[in-house]
């Protein structure tokens, strides 16, 4: 439901995307004994719902979900490079929502945190395509803020 939802959002099918993402959230949130993998999926779902609300022009709702995703990722995230990318992506999405609300100082802080996270995650070797793309977005956001 999560990947279907984000694919629908990319194709402009907002109502169907919202339905899929809310379904994924309900299924994942209904389990009080969620595994680490399920909590990672809930964080991704919250991040995706944040993107939905941002695209729908509802920045406060977007920030609520992105904040929830950040909390889950920071609490239950692992040290793997992929987790650094997920956390950086969520920070950059929150940065965009904050910027859209005129909260440029907080947006800049999140862009800087995402930049530091991506740079430190790749200190042992060259960054991959995803890391490079995220770093470019983070640098762009820093310049814009």
- From 48, 77, 106, the end of a domain falls on 77
Q: Are 81 and 121 contacting, i.e. CB atoms less than 8 angstroms apart?
A: yes
Structure tokens at 63: 């920030």
Q: Are residues 87 and 26 located together in one domain of the fold?
A: no
- Encode pLDDT of 86-128 as tens digits: 899 999 999 999 999 999 999 999 999 999 998 887 777 777 8
pLDDT at 121: 77
Q: Are residues 66 and 18 located together in one domain of the fold?
A: yes
Kindly compute the dihedral angle of the four CA atoms of residues 82, 75, 50, 118, in this order, to the nearest 10 degrees.
-40
Alpha-carbon distance of 68 to 93, in angstroms, equals 13
- From 58, 77, 96, the end of a domain falls on 77
pLDDT at 130: 87
Q: How far is CA 141 from CA 77, 81, 83, 100, 144, in A?
A: 24, 21, 21, 12, 5
- From 37, 52, 77, the end of a domain falls on 77
How many folded domains does the chain comprise? 2
Q: Are residues 21 and 44 located together in one domain of the fold?
A: yes
- Encode pLDDT of 48-57 as tens digits: 999 999 999 9
Structural domain boundaries enclosing 52 = 1-77
């Amino acid at each position: 439901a999560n990947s279907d939802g984000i694919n629908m959002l990319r194709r402009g099918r907002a109502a169907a995307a919202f339905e899929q993402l809310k379904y994924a959230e309900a299924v994942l949130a209904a389990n009080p004994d969620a595994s680490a993998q399920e909590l990672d999926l809930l964080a991704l779902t919250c991040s995706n719902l944040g993107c939905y609300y941002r695209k729908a022009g509802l920045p406060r709702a977007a920030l609520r979900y992105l904040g929830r995703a950040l909390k889950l990722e920071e609490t239950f995230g692992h040290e793997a490079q992929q987790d650094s990318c997920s956390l950086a992506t969520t920070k950059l999405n929150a940065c965009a929502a904050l910027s859209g609300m005129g909260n440029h100082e907080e947006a800049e802080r999140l862009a800087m945190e995402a930049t530091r996270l991506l740079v430190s995650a790749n200190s042992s070797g060259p960054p991959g395509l995803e890391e490079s793309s995220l770093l470019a977005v983070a640098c762009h956001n820093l310049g814009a803020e």
